[in-house]
Structure 1
């Protein structure tokens, strides 16, 4: 097996006393020593989790345990996923919450079908692009904070849509564990503590450029003027009351009842155009996932726009035209092809991906023939300075959490949920304990763009759950959170498993790349891209010789060591013959995969 990833072992920087004195301080202990040995597998990874009756993998150990408790109480995988998602909204507010949106893929063993749900919210129906532009007062993009980037929170409606079709336990029971943790408190996890500190710094800085109401958010998370630290007990009684009301009174309590009135009154006070009717009219949409064969019987399945899921399918259709396994996994050739495939796919993302109710998606983009045409544009020896979108035959014009649960009956849930950038746009409705998302920031202000802002429209969405079939049968749930990292992350994990034989945990722990830049879905269609080549960010586990070779090929490469921009991965695979479950979780987060 050709795996030239230096991995965590290469991250151990041997620092001598003389060099430490030269730099005035010793590096952290974790950088003075490498990993120990393992009897099996890569020494930069650990064993995946294996169980039989049920499994959950989330970004927080307590949320994973909440999901398992729901399964043991007789709940379905959907019940457990909703319970874990609610817990993460409390425990990982830097990545998600009920002020955001949700997408999920559910495999139903009773019917043998994959079901997708698009739980994304829309813009105000009573506000035109011209009216929005007047509020922006000459700005060429929506701000990251305040009332203007807010879209309807879609998560709660998506919970009830999923629960109505696949749930077994009462919603009050499903939300009860989080209600208890919110009232009684839970200790803050280390990575989340770091993100909370970053969030406070970010909001403080943005208040100068974009003045917005932040007092309510301070009361909930930063009451003493600082962010909670790892191990600090954190309580959110306002969120406990909100979830208890939702569990008792149902979906309408959030979108039509007193909770909706509080939200709308607050948003209007901040200058938003949302009305009670906008909230009452919101609904999720059941959609059909699309699947694309990679090789060796593995099919990647993703959700359609307004999400970016199909970008991963486009990458698969490009990369299936080359045998990556002929090179070592950490070689410049492999990383070059993955990067160029991403850049080609994202050229189409920026041009064609939008709310399908307003702009039809060109199905030709997912054809194998189109994938071959795009692959032919890749120069195997050089980075192409700029890739534009393709020319299909048209028929018409952050931060995130990912979790997965599989139950003993074989129901499999792949769920992703987010407030978009950081914790959201900074606005917290009084007394409700959650922050509104700022997803509307992803609208384009170019009226000719398919993703242009319009009344009652869903913006382009970055969050995507994934599913993998093997030989036509359901095989694996998969997600890798983190903005534009997500499609390329899905593909990197698939390549690791299929082309290089890594197990589920190794496939996620292996060093990643994240190409950023190129044309964006928020840019105007006319005119040059602000950053056509973009930057290829790599983790230190990518060999130094590979980095230098990529630079010589024309890539702009930067090494980033903190793991933040490379996403957060969870996965569960189910053996179709035995029902045995294998799970993996992200080393770059606080998470846990566990089963019973």
Structure 2
């Protein structure tokens, strides 16, 4: 339990249902859906739709999603890959012949076909009690009538003003009066409201066909993109099998490649041999071990992960205990490794949602347009912000993540799920682009090794190794920073907090739910 004399918040506790998101309006909409008879899947998609309006820098219907789901709280985890694909004409030779040395971070070539709306419709049809019209109703209201801009949203919104200015349609909608809204302003998106109404009426066809698809494709083609109406019409998400590992008696589940989720599992496998629970949870030795395990895991992620429909990824070998033993042997408790390649991991803006209902259906749901406001391209008539997931592709034909027609890029957004003894225990997630595997591991080990309650585990100080530097939040002690420097790490302060997460913990014996939401975002957990 936290020291009640210090600033902070307690976990949220309830019995019937619980939702945790990074925005209060989304959490409230999810709980309203639960109380109106919807289940956890209905509530999660309702929340995602609201956040597509009220957190436009982080997510939207022009993005992707991934979902892990435990029906009725069982231990069998369903996984749904709602990430989009490259256009059918996106051949690596085309880019090389045109003189590209990488896929740009913005513009038409960074845009993969959005997968979120297809996933929402499919998941509601397969697992929801309500339809897409009910799930979109709160989002339509906020887009049409307006919503108050929250503080973290305003902080993020102000950062990409230059990029938004480069697209006249983005500037018109998201720089009203020539500037980014500030906290307390009311913002409206009438074009997006009309688009959401089409989807509410026509389902996925309201996005991937007709006027909506034509607006997106025409804009992309006018800017030089390779996208076609067929690329949009043919978009379909897939059910797949999660990848998993066991950590101190808990089963941790992640999305398989093209997702980076196995990176967190590899880190846990390495750390399991160090028994980190005997260390100071915020001390230099614990943070150093986490950093070094992460550096090894990210090396493998960047060299080996791609779309398994196109390339073979050695998942079984990477997650084997023998492989973890070999990696662990490379770590020196007292010195940072010097031989690993330098890796720069971009951040991103994402929303993560955790919901459990009275039947203990447990949903771990993540939705994103990647960089802040994605590609910076907005549909002129539809108000849809298009993601820039294509920037994750490589242009090396030998690399497993090389761009190819219909291929999915290596994807950073990763929902997590914990099960134990054949039951769902905790849908959880930590946002933040490349930080997410670090965030998952830090959260889980805070709880399972150091006995922190869910909110304490979420609040705890964080570090992240990126581009040859360790970013240490201001809450990391001077003593821990000095201990990292003695081990050879270069330590700096990040411009913004590291990640942001949510979780809902199920206590089967007591019949209760415990929720936590990251103070680094605007959000909250709420139950009833």
State if a TM-score over 0.5 links the two structures.
Answer: yes
> Is the 8 Å Cα contact of residues 44 and 509 (structure 1) preserved in structure 2?
no
Candidates 419, 433, 455, aligned match of 1:505:
455
Alpha carbons of structure 1 residues 368 and 472: separation in structure 2 relative to 1, 3 Å: farther
> Is the 8 Å Cα contact of residues 73 and 360 (structure 2) preserved in structure 1?
no
2-structure distance, mates of 1:228, 1:123: 33
> Is the 8 Å Cα contact of residues 348 and 388 (structure 1) preserved in structure 2?
no
2-structure distance, mates of 1:348, 1:321: 19
Q: What's the CA shift for 1:546?
A: 1.8
Q: What's the CA shift for 1:474?
A: 1.1
Alignment of 1:447-526 (within 5 A): 447-517=397-467
Candidates 369, 378, 387, aligned match of 2:331:
378
When structure 1 is superposed on structure 2, of 356-365 and 139-148 the one drifting more is 139-148
Candidates 447, 470, 475, aligned match of 1:536:
470
Match of 2:154 in 1: 193
Candidates 235, 242, 256, aligned match of 1:289:
242
Match of 1:140 in 2: 101
Runs of 5+ consecutive residues of structure 1 not aligned to the other structure: 2-6, 8-36, 208-213, 390-397, 518-533
Alignment of 1:210-359 (within 5 A): 214-295=167-248, 297-359=249-311
Candidates 416, 422, 434, aligned match of 2:384:
434
2-structure distance, mates of 1:282, 1:178: 23
> Is the 8 Å Cα contact of residues 285 and 483 (structure 2) preserved in structure 1?
no
> Is the 8 Å Cα contact of residues 66 and 415 (structure 2) preserved in structure 1?
yes
SS at 2:519's partner residue?
Answer: coil
Alpha carbons of structure 1 residues 236 and 203: separation in structure 2 relative to 1, 3 Å: closer
Candidates 353, 369, 378, aligned match of 1:403:
353
SS at 1:142's partner residue?
Answer: coil
> Is the 8 Å Cα contact of residues 164 and 175 (structure 2) preserved in structure 1?
no
2-structure distance, mates of 1:367, 1:315: 12
SS at 1:477's partner residue?
Answer: strand
| RMSD (CA atoms) | 1.7
Runs of 5+ consecutive residues of structure 2 not aligned to the other structure: 343-347
Candidates 584, 587, 592, aligned match of 2:516:
584
> Is the 8 Å Cα contact of residues 364 and 416 (structure 2) preserved in structure 1?
yes
TM-score by length of 1: 0.85
TM-score by length of 2: 0.96
SS at 1:338's partner residue?
Answer: helix
Alpha carbons of structure 1 residues 444 and 319: separation in structure 2 relative to 1, 3 Å: same
Match of 2:131 in 1: 170
SS at 1:343's partner residue?
Answer: helix
Q: Give 4+ residue runs of structure 1 displaced > 6 Å after superposition.
A: none
Candidates 13, 16, 22, aligned match of 1:50:
13
Q: What's the CA shift for 1:343?
A: 0.5
1-structure distance, mates of 2:490, 2:205: 50
Q: What's the CA shift for 1:370?
A: 0.9
Q: What's the CA shift for 1:140?
A: 2.1
Candidates 488, 502, 527, aligned match of 1:570:
502
Q: Size of the alignment, in residue pairs?
A: 522
SS at 1:113's partner residue?
Answer: coil
SS at 2:110's partner residue?
Answer: coil
Q: What's the CA shift for 1:258?
A: 2.3
